[in-house]
Amino acid sequence: MIKVVIAEDDFRIAQVQEQFLQKVTDVKLVGKALNAKETLKLLSEHEVDLLLLDIYMPDELGTELLPKIRENHPLVDIIMVTAATERTMLEKAVKYGVFNYLLKPVTMKKFVETIEDYKRKKKLLSAAEEVDQTMIDRYFGSINQSAAIQKDLPTGVDRHTLDKVKDVVEKLKGVSIDEMSEELGVSRTTARRYLEYLVLIDVCVAKHDYGIVGRPQRKYYLLE
């Protein structure tokens, strides 16, 4: 469970962010702060994994909080959510190792994508005793492999259908070729083509499900 604090002086924006967080599984909001003082208090009183930090707060800039947070709460990850477009603000945030920098107004899609990417990378890192270059490349890769998906698709793979296939895999928490064929009303050959392409671009992983009896079945799962 990812424990989150929202630091935002506009309670309406904080409420919207809270609603966005509810769209993400395994995330728990442990508190909301309206200013810098409340932010530091919440970090001291709770075990926090992720801080969503505004810059323009009434008592102190969020960027001025960064060195204090890094000194006193070095394990807290930070995503800036701000209207600040000054380059110097971004540079300071990067200097103190923020995970991401979101400019307001933030769409729900962008917000959820960013939190899901944070979850994926945190899980990837925590599961590794040692790292190799493949794991490092995955960690520093783009959100949801979007760069790979935006490239020219191979013959026989349609972008709209590919998105539908991915949605089915996510909805069913893992799917076989037969199940995908039935869900989309397509042939097994077509279902296999799309599922194997998602494996190829590191969106999905294929595993053998042995079940209770019978031959093992190849099932496809979204990579976390």
The class that CATH gives domain 2-125 is: alpha beta
Pick the CATH number of 142-222 from 3.10.180.10, 1.20.1250.20, 1.10.10.10, 1.10.600.10: 1.10.10.10
User: Per-residue pLDDT tens for 27-82?
Assistant: 999 999 999 999 999 999 999 999 999 999 999 999 999 999 999 999 999 999 99
At 188 the pLDDT is 93
At 152 the pLDDT is 60
User: Per-residue pLDDT tens for 105-150?
Assistant: 999 999 999 999 899 888 888 877 787 776 777 777 644 444 444 4
At 131 the pLDDT is 75
At 150 the pLDDT is 45
How far apart (Å, rounded) are the C-alpha atoms in residues 16 and 108?
9
Residue located via tokens 């026989």:
156
Contacts of 182 (CB under 8 A, 6+ apart): none
CATH 1.10.10.10, the chain: domain bounds? 142-222
Angle between helices 159-172 and 177-184 (to 10 degrees): 120
CATH 3.40.50.2300, the chain: domain bounds? 2-125
pTM assigned to the model: 0.64
What is the 3-state secondary structure of the chain?
Answer: CEEEEEECCCHHHHHHHHHHHCCCCCEEEEEEECCHHHHHHHHHHCCCCEEEECCCCCCCCHHHHHHHHHHHCCCCEEEEEECCCCHHHHHHHHHCCCCEEEECCCCHHHHHHHHHHHHHHHHHHHCCCCCCHHHHHHHCCCHHHHHHHHCCCCCCCCHHHHHHHHHHHHHHCCEEHHHHHHHHCCCHHHHHHHHHHHHHCCCEEEEEECCCCCCCEEEEEECC
* Beta-bridge partners for 29: 4
How far apart (Å, rounded) are the C-alpha atoms in residues 100 and 147?
17
Are the C-beta atoms of 29 and 6 separated by less than 8 Å?
Answer: yes
